[in-house]
Amino acid sequence: TDQKLTTITAVKADLGIVGSDQDARLGELIDQYSAAIVGWCDRPFAMETVRETLFARCASNGLMLARWPIVAVTTVSIDGAALEPVDFVADKVTGIIYRSGSTIRGEFWPAGESVVEYRSGYILPGEPGRTLPHDVERAAIMLVKGAWFAAARDPALRSEEIDGLGTTTWFASSGAAIDGMPLEVQGLLTGYRRQDIA
């Protein structure tokens, strides 16, 4: 129900804001930039239960799921036949499921239709037992702060000298125009971005 990658309290602490007059605006910015991060990384971060169907044309070492980290795998079936829990093992960090068990250890994942029901994602900031990595939250805070300061001035302005003709220096922090994500934020998020494998 909540997709926010940071909290109003955390953003206010970073901005030095006291009181609740700006909470509504900050909440809107958190929603907007949390969605921007999810879009740029091409994956959700909030913990959800997922039923994923995958079609493989040939056998492979393992079955790569679309979401990670895996919290728990509920059911796995191959071409309609349910696997027992001892028949597979999940690499929870990478989101890959392998065949395992005393009789099929090391066996390739077969071609065909695989259906996996699993729970994946992180407990978000502000919730008990939060597990979202802090660098993801820092990226969200940085984007919100940039938008907040941009309302009053250009956040890319580094320095301005008003002596003589004047000199203005700009930060070159924006990513390519195709994605518009600041480079410093990209550095925090690149490890969480979903990579498509052809």
pLDDT tens by residue, 139-177? 999 999 988 887 766 555 555 666 666 666 555 544 443
Question: 73 or 160: whose pLDDT is higher?
Answer: 73
Tokens of 71: 């919290």
Token output for 20: 């609740």
Burial class (CB in 10 A: 0-12, 13-18, 19+), 76: buried
Q: What percent of the chain has pLDDT over 70?
A: 81
Query: How sure is the predictor about 102, in pLDDT bands with cuts at 50, 70 and 90?
Result: very low
Taking residue 80's Cβ as centre, other Cβ atoms within 10 Å add up to 8
Read off the pLDDT of each residue in 54-75 and give the average, rounded to a whole number: 90
3-state secondary structure of 163: coil
19: Cα within 13 Å, side-chain hemisphere = 2
Q: Which of 10-19, 72-81, 94-103 has the lowest mean pLDDT?
A: 94-103
Sheet with 63-64, edge to edge strand ranges: 63-64, 96-99, 88-91
Under 8 Å between Cβ of 197 and 62 = no
The pTM for the full model equals: 0.77
pLDDT above 90 covers a percentage of the chain that reads 51
* Chain mean pLDDT for the chain: 84
- Structure confidence at residue 123 (pLDDT): 95
pLDDT at residue 108, rounded to an integer: 82
Is 128 a residue whose pLDDT tops 90? yes
pLDDT at residue 165, as a whole number:
67
- State the Rg of the chain over Cα: 22
Quote the pLDDT of residue 185.
92
pLDDT given at position 61 = 85
Integer angstrom CA distances of residue 73 from 116, 166, 186, 187, 195: 7, 62, 30, 31, 22
